[in-house]
Structure formats: C-alpha cells, structure tokens
Structure 1
C-alpha cells in the first residue's frame, strides 16, 4: 500500500489498460503523446510572438522571457551604457560603477494539467481531458526543443504528480508518462470521490515556481473561488502565467428540449433542458465560470488560450499562436 501511494505521488502509477485498443478521442497513452513531437515544431512560447498570436502584446501582456542574473559590480568604462550605472555605489565611492547582468541560459517551465473527472466529457470530437493532455504535450515538446527546462504537475481526482523542471529528455518523459497514466485512470466506472481542489494544486505550483517561471495551466477551471483568484494573481505577478481554458460546446451552450441523465457513478438524475428555469440556471453557471477567467485576463493581464474539445488540438494550438494556414 505504501509503495502504491508513493508511485501515485510521483506519477509512476500504471493504470489497468481497458480491453481492446483505446479510442484516442477518449483516452491517450504515452505513444500517442510522443507522436505529437513532430507537430510541435512551429509553436513558440518565446517573448517574440507572431502578430496573430494570443500571446502577443496586442492581445495580453507580453511574455517576459528569460530573466537576468547579476554578474558583477565594476568600474565604469567609456563603452558602457550609462543606464547600467549604479548611482548609489557611485555616490558612495566617488567613482562611476556599473552593474553587469547576463541573461539566463534558459527559463524553467511548469505545465499544469487537469485530469479530474470533470474533464472526462466531450460531445463532438475529444474528451476535454484528451484536449488538455494533447495541448500540454505539444507545449512540453516545443519548450524542450527551445532549450528551456520543462516539468509539470499532473493531477486527477485522487492523484497529484510533480515533476520538477529540468533540461533533460528524462524529465520530459516523466511528465508525459504521468500525463498518460492520469488520463488512463479516467473511465465511466470510476468511483465517485471528492476531487483534489484547484486551490491545492495552485499552492503546489507556487512552491515549485516561486518566480521567473513560465507556468501553463490546462483545465476547465470547474470550481473557482476568491482563494483561486488570489493564488492566480500571485502567480501572475511572479511568473509568466498562461491559462489554457478547455471547454466543450455542449456545456458552454446547453441545447434545449433534451432530457439528460447525469450520474456521479452512484446516483443519477434526469435534467430536462426544455424547462426554461433549468436551462437558464445551467447557462448562467457556465457563463459565470467563463466570466471569472476572462476577468482575470482583464485585471491581471493573463493570456488565455480558449481551447475547445470540439476541434483538433494541433490545429487550434497553431491558430492561437498566429501560425498562418493553421485552420482550413
């Protein structure tokens, strides 16, 4: 039991495979995620973005990129930029001094992926959990290819795997393995449990990415509150934060005149969307969650990637990054 608990925490637990070949629209395995590497080449998370990218400064705050490391304090030379003069040291010593900085060789990236049961839903193409996993894998491959350190947090209803950022193929594989394992735990017969709260995950993010990280979060942000907002605001002040908001058109715009049976695995209930009050309540719930995320974008300058489970993951990621011809 202790060994299994340790493997769950480190993201190395292997789910029991379903009989037959898995449908990649419903679940993904490690080989499926690895096949996305070649398609991630043109996606970029560098500060310089195409004009049509949602990460461009015209749409949201610019990515700050790699930080600066303090190198030395030395005497001023005629070729130095006067903006680098340290005026306090100059006044104290009586001779001009400059501070010298070097750009960091790389920047750590933390990719956070939601694989809870709320993500196990899809009405057109993919489950939201599949879209989140594929987009996270595309980001991981591209960031690794850029030479930056990559790691992540993958969380399900009962598991949370942490992979510290590293510039190594081993760390990348560990992240993809944790992602595939968590996705494989999602199935229709999964027991009903109290899911890990988003706030607990964000606290782990703050611990692993204290400052100067690129943090990507792929989730449907099913339940958020004032604490979530406070944690998101703190992360955005100290890091480059990008939110991948995963949605499905069915839940965003609930159709009318349908009877839907919902279940938590133990109990079930029928919802009549033809009832005006019921339909209005469902729409207001969905719009309220979206409004909260968009409000964070406006107030904190956080770029939001609107990702739909109804579209191909590669095509929409390229489109959001402003790559011409990404959609046909």
Structure 2
C-alpha cells in the first residue's frame, strides 16, 4: 500500500470512527469504563453522617473544628488495545476482512478514549509481541495508531493470546482498561493469563469472525488454506455431513470461549464481518454501565 493510499484510508476511517465516537458512543463509553479510583478534591466542614475516617486532622487542628476530605472519581484512564495481527485476520469472504473490521473497531475505541481525555496505547501481537505503542493522548497519536493498524506487517502468522495478555500484565504497572481484539484462533488455553490480567486490569474481549466460519455454503468443491500453518486442502461443501460437522465445531469452539471468559469474569462481545459492529459495542457498553 503506497503512502497516498494509506493517507486516504486513514482519513476515511478517522471520519467514520470520530463520528461514531461523538454521536453514538460518547455517553455510553463514559459510563461503561470507570476511572482508576477516588482523587482528593477539597476539604469542607464536618457534617452529621460523614465518615470519621475522612477527617483531615491537620485542617481540623488549625481551625479548631472538624473538617473532612472530599473525594471525587478520578476519571482519566489509560486504555490499551491488544490487537491480533496474525495470519488468520487477513481472511474475509464478505464485505471486509477481519483485519479491516478490527482496525475500524480499534479506531472507534481510540477516538472514544481521547474524547474522554484518556490515554491510549496499543500492543500488536501474533505468537510474539510484534510492536508496543506507549499510551498517549491526542489526535496525531491516534492517526499514527490507525496508520500502523492499516499497514503493519507482522513477523509471524501464528497466534498466542495468553502470551500477549501476560505481557500486558507485566508491562502496565497501573490499572488499565484493555480491549483484546482477535478472532481467537489460538491453540493455547489463556484462561489463567486472563484471570491474572483481569484481577489487575479491566479486561474486555471483542471477537471478530467471518460468517463462513459459522456456516459453510453449499457450493461444491472449495480450496481452503490455514493462514497460520500454511496447510491447504480441498473440501466438498456439497456434503451435508461436512457442513454439519463444520457448524458443530464452531458451536463447540464458541462454548469454550464463553466458558473461558466467564471463568475469567471478562465482559466480551462477538461480531461478524458482515454485521454492523456499532450494535455489538453499544450492547457491551450498556451491559457494563
């Protein structure tokens, strides 16, 4: 992709993502993702019913009557996007590839974050950490992130979700809101890594999938390629037994994912590449509000 084409795509994604974050997600994002805790705001005179643990003894001694510290929620967050850049994300049979949808979702979340005055960073991962972009604020920083999402070339095509989640736990010292964006085609069981990460941070998972992963069309012989192993084979989609086995595999895989996120106490949503991701994000935000 040449520079002018990247700039056009960045601009197009910016317009869409900024519009969504301003017009649709503004209030929902704010209420769904809470600040790190309580920050000191001011002192005032003690009133009946105030917690005696909040008394500011220095001010009380100075004025010879009790004063209490007043706290308010500390709104500013650090948001991290954990973005799967493995080979399976390049697959797409309908309107767009999984990677293109992940880019749009990531951009929308990024614009929602800076509108809320949050810092945003990114971890690109395959079966290794491909790139780490430290959290910062501002439009220029987000445009740089979108450019990287569009044009990033990973060193590996395989996936290891648990490794990426463990890296987040080690890297981020303060509590962070982290969005994990992936199709979750991974052979590792990342339950433990997710549980540890979610005890320290606020983890949210977003699965992006192609509708053909759920149900094969009846179109006869089809060549399929595993983007992460390079294995290629011909399958006969005219076989009802094969199509049923394919759907059964999908349902079992989704059940395992559902169980994993439930055990980890992680909120998650799933969206197909032929669907509008706005609805999925809105439902996710409302569930958390």
TM class by shorter chain equals 0.7 to 0.9
Give the TM-score, by structure 1 length: 0.68
Q: Call closer, same or farther: CA 1:209–1:81 in 2, change over 3 Å.
A: farther
Of the three residues 231, 234, 259, the one matched with 2:196 is: 234
1:66 is the counterpart of 2:35: yes
Matched residue, 2:63: none
Q: Call closer, same or farther: CA 1:34–1:117 in 2, change over 3 Å.
A: same
Shift of 1:146: 1.1
Matched residue, 2:216: 254
What does 1:39-54 correspond to in 2, within 5 Å? 39-41=20-22, 42-44=24-26, 46=29, 48=31
Matched residue, 2:14: 34
Please say if residues 222 and 289 of structure 1, whose CA atoms lie closer than 8 Å, have aligned partners that are also in contact. Answer: no
Instruction: State the distance in 1 between where 2:267 and 2:68 align.
Output: 35
Matched residue, 1:273: 237
Instruction: State the distance in 1 between where 2:52 and 2:259 align.
Output: 38
Instruction: State the distance in 2 between where 1:280 and 1:219 align.
Output: 25
Matched residue, 1:118: 88
Note the aligned Cα RMSD (angstroms). Answer: 3.7
Matched residue, 2:132: 162
Q: Which moved more, 1:247-256 or 1:168-177?
A: 168-177
What does 1:42-191 correspond to in 2, within 5 Å? 42-44=24-26, 46=29, 48=31, 63=32, 65-68=34-37, 78-79=46-47, 82-83=50-51, 85=53, 101-156=71-126, 160-182=130-152, 185=153
1:204 is the counterpart of 2:204: no
Q: Which has the higher helix share?
A: 2
Instruction: State the distance in 2 between where 1:84 and 1:233 align.
Output: 36
Matched residue, 2:62: none
Matched residue, 1:311: 275
Deviation per residue, 1:244-269 (Å, 9 max, x gap) = 11112111122346322023576631
Matched residue, 2:255: 291
Higher relative contact order at CA 8 Å, sep ≥6: structure 1 or structure 2?
A: 1
Please say if residues 125 and 311 of structure 1, whose CA atoms lie closer than 8 Å, have aligned partners that are also in contact. Answer: no
Instruction: State the distance in 1 between where 2:107 and 2:10 align.
Output: 10
Q: Which has the higher strand share?
A: 2
Q: Which moved more, 1:158-167 or 1:102-111?
A: 158-167
Number of aligned residue pairs: give it.
271
Q: Call closer, same or farther: CA 1:101–1:207 in 2, change over 3 Å.
A: farther
Please say if residues 246 and 308 of structure 1, whose CA atoms lie closer than 8 Å, have aligned partners that are also in contact. Answer: yes
Please say if residues 84 and 100 of structure 1, whose CA atoms lie closer than 8 Å, have aligned partners that are also in contact. Answer: no
Instruction: State the distance in 1 between where 2:218 and 2:52 align.
Output: 64
Please say if residues 67 and 104 of structure 1, whose CA atoms lie closer than 8 Å, have aligned partners that are also in contact. Answer: yes
1:213 is the counterpart of 2:183: no
The 3-state SS of whatever aligns with 2:166 is helix
Q: Call closer, same or farther: CA 1:211–1:79 in 2, change over 3 Å.
A: same
Please say if residues 123 and 129 of structure 2, whose CA atoms lie closer than 8 Å, have aligned partners that are also in contact. Answer: no
Give the TM-score, by structure 2 length: 0.76
